[in-house]
Amino acid sequence: MRVKDQNKVVNIENFVAKNSTAKSPIQLLIKAIARTVNQHKVDYDQLRYVFKAVRHQCELEAPSRGQKLYELPTEDEMIRFYDVIENPVHRLIFEFLDGSGLRVDELCNLEVVRIDFKNNSVFVKEGKGRKDRVTLIGNRLLEKVCLYLAGRNNRYLFESNRNTRFTTRRIEQLCKLYKERAGIERDLTPHTFRHQWNTRLAEGGLSREGREILAGHSKGSSVQDIYTHLGVGGMKAEVIAILDKKSQVSR
């Protein structure tokens, strides 16, 4: 949040004491939001969007944070993680995160029609920053997806038994559940799989530019730029080879 008066001293103890009462502005705001959420049946993703829009309109800025170095799970830990997953759909969800580099919300919103099975490509519609991009998946993962979709009539790639798409919250819950069952103590979230994917591409020799394009980090790229890079630079064959060679071990 912007600080307009650098000389103003905030007494944290008084602030906490003031806002711990039932009639404090913070508590009243929480109750008002809760009533609105229940009244209009707002889901988790919609509520996240609302708060993001409010922060933007109020010009609120998140405090800067130091860059965090991620400590990735070991191969043994990932084998244990997959070993405790008995539900094949849940297993494929994490294999897809691991093999595509998608953010968890991008996976939840991924429609089957956005997957080009002939070219091993996935079109991400309005990812982070509302940017479109194309990424790639390996042949092994593609085969598993084809087997999974056989006989299904999904709109979204991953849908629950009620024919509704998985939510980010649900996938986060599943990740935490299987992490605990596997006895993994280090941090492991759905976003960890994106870091693993990026690391494998780097270790496989893919250029930084190529990784940024596929991950959606390239600021100046457009969809046309991506297709051109895939065709001219030969990145498609290189990426598929890396992903198939380094595909996550899952028994």
Asked if residue 172 and residue 82 are part of one domain, the reply reads yes
Q: Are residues 186 and 210 located together in one domain of the fold? A: yes
Query: Residue 14 sits in which domain range?
Result: 1-66
At residue 44, the pLDDT reads 87
Would residue 87 count as lying in a domain? yes
Report d(CA 119, CA 102) in Å as an integer.
17
pLDDT for 231 equals: 44
Q: Is residue 177 part of a domain?
A: yes
Residue 4 is predicted with a pLDDT of: 45
Residue 103 falls in the annotated catalytic set: yes
Whether 146 and 240 map to the same domain: the answer is yes
Judge whether 229 counts as a catalytic residue: no
Q: Pick the catalytic residue: 90, 91, 103, 133?
A: 103
| Average pLDDT of the chain to the nearest whole number | 82
pLDDT value for 209: 84
Q: 194, 200, 229, 246: which is the annotated catalytic residue?
A: 194
Boundary of a domain, candidates 37, 66, 95: 66
Regarding whether 122 and 196 lie in a shared domain, the answer is yes
- Assigned domain for 119 exists: yes
The percent of residues above 90 in pLDDT, for the chain, comes to: 48
Residue 113, Cβ neighbours under 10 Å: how many?
9
**Residue 250: inside a domain, yes or no?**
no
The question of whether 191 is a catalytic residue gets the answer yes
- One-letter-per-residue 3-state SS of the chain: CCCCCCCCCCCHHHHHHHHCCCCCHHHHHHHHHHHHHHHHCCCHHHHHHHHHHHHHHCCCCCCCCCCCCCCCCCHHHHHHHHHCCCCHHHHHHHHHHHHHCCCHHHHHCCEHHHEECCCCEEEECCCHHHCCEEEECCHHHHHHHHHHHCCCCCCECCECCCCCECCHHHHHHHHHHHHHHCCCCCCCCHHHHHHHHHHHHHHCCCCHHHHHHHHCCCCCCCHHHHHHHHHHHCHHHHHHHHHHHCCCCCC
- Let me know whether 46 and 153 are in one domain: no
Residue 251 belongs to some domain of the structure: no
Domain-embedded: residue 54 = yes
What pLDDT score was predicted for residue 154? 94
- 99 and 26 in a single domain? The answer is no
Residues composing the chain: 251
Per annotation, catalytic residue among 131, 169, 191, 195? 191
**Terminal CA-to-CA distance of the chain, rounded, Å?**
47
Given the residues 35, 52, 227, 245, the one annotated as active site? 227
In the set 125, 128, 186, 245, the catalytic residue is 128
Average pLDDT rounded to a whole number, residues 119-136:
82
Count of domains observed in the chain: 2
171 and 219, same domain (yes or no): yes
Residue scoring higher pLDDT (179 or 67): 179
The CATH number assigned to the domain holding 146 equals 1.10.443.10
Q: How confident is the model at residue 9 (pLDDT cuts 50, 70, 90)?
A: very low
Catalytic residue list contains 128: yes
**Catalytic annotation, pick one of 48, 114, 217, 236:** 217
- What's residue 131's pLDDT? 76
Residue 102 included in any domain: yes
Rounded Cα distance, 127 and 14, in Å: 41
The pTM assigned to this predicted structure is 0.68
